[in-house]
Amino acid sequence: MEIITNEKQAKEVLKDFNETALVPTMGNLHDGHLSLLSKAKEVGEIVLASIYINPLQFGVNEDFDNYPRTLDDDLLKLEKTGCDFVFCPSEDILKNIKNYQAPDISKKLCGKSRPTHFDGVVTIVRKLFEVLNPDYAIFGLKDYQQFLIIKKFFNEMNFHTKIIGSPIVRESDGLAMSSRNNLLTSENRKIAPKIYKQLAWIRDNIENQSHSDLILNSIETFKENNIHPEYLSILNPDTLEDAKDDDLSVLIAIAVKLGNVRLIDNILIN
């Protein structure tokens, strides 16, 4: 595995490779990230990962300074997983960077409370694509809105990179894997699996109850467990507009505060 630290090196090292698959990350890797590497191996001949904690996607009073930085451990995990190249740029990557606006669906869901977040995401991902020129890029579907935004953004930009979503990886108790899980207190870590359990209850009852009843009942259940929903929505998975009660394909999406930690999750019904 080779570590790349700047744009010039990237263009020189990667110029002769085809069928490259990129997994962009901010480090602090867990099995969810490593599943994206496995997906990258399926679609590409050369597997790339990037590790960069992007300040552009953190808003005021968000946790940029506290975001876990575990580079040495991350590199070991990537090497064991069979990654070929890792791009670990310095802050120089932001020098003269052009800022982009995310598509309008960025204003929904997480975008309501984090209005500049997705602009920062598409800006840095575009920069990574320009430097690394991947044929494929793999994104986890835990942040389904981000996946949809990136796919739409790069389709509109006519980039050749194919955007691929990879399924959510969960702990044995159902909690979606996330770097933020490490920030939960031991008590809240015991409560956190109730998020997925309730989403699964909605999925299992969606043919028998109205969407509004399912949401209202779930919000009450969350509050009883000191889980505070920022949003809980049943949506069209392509537009993120509210789904109709008789729609067959829906996205059940949630963001909550558990203690001081913000968690997201979703279930997609096709």
Which is it for the CA torsion 33, 34, 35, 38, positive or negative? positive
Q: For residue 209, give both structure tokens.
A: 């109850």
pLDDT at 174 over 80: yes
pLDDT of residue 136: 98
Confidence of residue 67 (pLDDT cuts 50, 70, 90): confident
Active centre residues (catalytic): 33
- Residues 205 and 163: their CA atoms lie apart, in Å, by 32
Domains and CATH numbers, the chain: 2-166 (3.40.50.620), 179-269 (3.30.1300.10)
State pTM to two decimals: 0.96
pLDDT confidence of residue 68: 87
Residue 155 half-sphere exposure toward CB, CA atoms < 13 A: 9
End-to-end CA distance of the chain: 38
The CA R_g of the chain, rounded to the nearest whole Å, is 19
Provide, rounded to the nearest whole percent, the portion of the chain with pLDDT above 90.
Answer: 96
Confidence grade of residue 59 (pLDDT, cut at 50, 70, 90) = confident
Query: Looking at residue 66, what is its pLDDT?
Result: 81
Report pLDDT for 60.
Answer: 80
**pLDDT one-digit tens code per residue, 18-50:** 999 999 999 999 999 999 999 999 999 999 999
Contact call for residues 197 and 205 (beta carbons, < 8 A): no
Percent pLDDT > 70 in the chain is: 100
- Tens of pLDDT along 224-266? 999 999 999 999 999 999 999 999 999 999 999 999 999 999 9
Q: Which residue pairs, CB below 8 angstroms and at least 24 apart, start in 58-67? A: 58/117, 58/120, 59/114, 59/115, 59/116, 59/117, 62/114, 63/183, 66/183, 67/26, 67/28, 67/179
The helix-helix angle for 144-156 and 117-132 (nearest 10°) equals 60
